[in-house]
Structure 1
C-alpha cells in the first residue's frame, strides 16, 4: 500500500493545499483530507508514490481532463509532484460525501424501489456522458460512486470517482478499438459482465451490464452469485455460469419490469454498438412518474440532506 510518511502530512502542495488526515489506502495510493488555504474549504487529496509498480494517478488526471467539468464529475484543482525530492504525485479535487456502499449500509443494507430507479436514472446519464467522450469506465462498484456533501445543494447527486482504470475505446483516428479475445478480467468480479469473465475486449455494453448488476446489489443487498466457494478462478467460472443461465426475470425479480427488459437489451448489444441511453433514461423516468415521484425530487430518497436514513420510507 502506498502510504506517505508522517513528514508529508501538513505539507502544502501547489502553494495552496495542505495534506491532512490519512483516510484510506490501497494499490491506487492513499487518500487524505486536505484544506484549501485560500478558501478554507476541505478538499480530497490522492497521493501516489512515483515508485508504484503500476502508477495510475496520471491516467486518472488525464481522464478527468478529458471529461472536463460536469455536475457529476468532481472538480480537479491541482495535479503535480510533491514531497521530498518530488517522490509523490498529488491529485487535489473536490471533497464529496459518502459512497453508495456506505449510504446503503446506513439505510439497512438495501434501497427502496423508488431510490433504486432514481439511481439508475442518474447513472445512465453519467455513463452516456463518459462514453460520449470515448471512455470506458471498467471499474463499476458502489465504492466508486459518491454523493455530494451533506446539507448542500448536491447532497443527493451521484458523482463518479476513481478514473485510473478507464480505457479509451476510440482511437486517435476516431475509430472504435477492435474486438479481441484472451484479455484479463478488469474490475470487481461481482459486477463485471459476462464478456469480461470470458476474456473478451470490453465495450460500452459491458459498462452497462456491470451497472445493472451493481443496481441489483444495491436494491436487494445481494446478487445470485454471492457466497460461492473455491479459488478465485473456480468462483469466476461458477459466477459466469450463473450470469449466463439466469433469466432476466429471475435476476430482476421484485423489481419493476424495466430492469428485466434492460438486462435483455444490454446482453443483446453488439461490441461496437452505441447504447440507446436516452430511451432507457426516459423509460425509468416514466416508471418513477407512474409511482407518483419525479426524478427531480429528493424527498422520497432513502436518506435525507444529512445523509441519515429515512426509515419511515420502508
Structure 2
C-alpha cells in the first residue's frame, strides 16, 4: 500500500502529520486542519481491500449517523492518489491505552462506560445500524473529557428487518474475543448482538481477561473453539469474579430474541450507582476524582494526621529549647523554612513583652501573609482542609515530609550550636539590646 507522506495536503486543507495505526483494512494518520489547527484522523483504505468497499460503506453509515454526538463526524471523503480517504475529527485514545496507563479501571469507571455505550448503541440502533465490531480498541476518549466515542463502522450494516432470522450461513464478522455467539454461528447479527459484545468488553475491562483467552493462541480453529465455549458457558460462569451488575446485564441480554428491541433504559439502570453514594461519576483518566463519603472521610483523616504531626514538632521544639535555655522559646510555624531576614528580626524584637521570651517564625511562603490575616478566623486544621482543594493529597504529603526534614535540620543548627556551644548565637545581640 502506498503511504501518505508527512506534510502531504489532502482536500486542500488537511495536512498529514504522522502514522497512528494500521489494520487489515487500511491505515490511520494524524492530520491537522491548516485553517483552524483542529486535529483530524485520516483513514486510508488499502488498495487490495478496495473491492470490499469497506471505506465507502463506512462513509455512507457515518452520513446516516450524522448528528449523534458520540460517533465520528465526517469532515471529508474522496479519492487521493488513487486510493480512498476518509477524514474525521480526532477523538482521542482507545480504552486499551488508558487501561495500560491506569493498570486497571475502577468499578465506577466501568459502569460509566457501560451506561454511555448503551446510550450510543441505542442511538445508532434507532438508525437501524448494527456495529458488529465492538471492542475496547474502537471506544475512544480524551483525557479531559467526560464522554466516550464509538468508532470504526467499516463492517457495520443496516439491521435485517425480516421477522425471522435468515438461516443462511455467512462468514464470521467481528473480533473473536468480543463477538457474539450469533456471529460465531455465521448468522445475521441484530441489536442484541452489539449488547452481548459490550458485555464481553465490560468483563475484559474488569478482569483484563476472558474465559476463552487461552484459545486465542490457536491459529486454525480459534474462532470455532471460542464460539463453542461461549455457547456452552452460562452467564454465571462467564461473569465469575465480576460485580453482580455485569451478571444481571448479561442475563437480561441473553434473554433477548433476535428481533426484539431491547429496553435500553432498563439496561442502563443496572449500572446506576446509588445517589447517596456519589456526587458524580467520572472516568479514571479524567483530571477530576470520583468523590464519595469514604473518600472525604479518608481526606479528613489524612489532614488530621498531618496537623498532629506539625503540632508534635512544635511541642518537641518548645520543650527542648525551654529545658536548656529558659529565656528562649522556639515557635515553629507549619510553613517553616531555613532563613529569616533583618526585618523579621526587628519585628521579633518589637514583639518582646520581656526578655524572657523570644518568638522565632521561619517563613517560606507567599501565602504566609494571607494565612496570618486569617489565623483569627480559621484554625490550623481548617486551613489544611481548604488547601486540599488546591493541592492533591499525595503532593501535600510529600511537601509535609520535606518540611519536617527541613524543620529538624534548622532545629539542630539553631539549638545545638547556639545553646550547647554558645558561639555565634544569633539571639545574643537581640537579648542584650532588649536588656539594656
TM bin, normalised by shorter chain, reads 0.7 to 0.9
The two structures, once aligned, show a CA RMSD in angstroms of: 2.5
1:211: how far off? 0.8
Residues 94 and 141, structure 2, Cα contact 8 Å, conserved in 1: yes
Deviation readout 1:22-44 (Å, 9 max, x if unpaired): 22222221111111011022211
1:279: how far off? 1.0
- 2:118 pairs with 114, 124, 132, which one? 124
Aligned position for 1:220: 207
1:18: how far off? 1.2
Matched, 1:19 2:16: yes
Unmatched runs of 5 consecutive residues or more in structure 2: 289-391, 395-436
- 1:31 pairs with 28, 31, 37, which one? 28
Deviation readout 1:198-256 (Å, 9 max, x if unpaired): 22221111111111011100111100111127744533333233223333223223333
1:62: how far off? 0.8
Aligned position for 1:303: 285
Residues 73 and 89, structure 2, Cα contact 8 Å, conserved in 1: yes
| Count of matched residue positions in the alignment of Structure 1 and Structure 2 | 290
Bigger fraction of residues in strand: 1
Aligned position for 1:47: 44
Matched, 1:158 2:155: no
Residues 27 and 46, structure 2, Cα contact 8 Å, conserved in 1: no
Report 1 or 2 for greater relative contact order, CA contacts < 8 Å, sequence distance ≥ 6. Answer: 1
- In 2, Cα distance between equivalents of 1:182 and 1:97: 37
- 1:77 pairs with 75, 78, 82, which one? 75
Matched, 1:138 2:139: no
TM-score, normalisation: structure 2: 0.62
Aligned position for 1:105: 100
Structure 1 residues 164-183: aligned runs within 5 Å: 164-170=154-160, 178-183=165-170
TM-score, normalisation: structure 1: 0.84
- In 2, Cα distance between equivalents of 1:290 and 1:179: 44
1:260: how far off? 1.2
- 2:231 pairs with 231, 244, 253, which one? 244
Unmatched runs of 5 consecutive residues or more in structure 1: none
- In 2, Cα distance between equivalents of 1:67 and 1:247: 35
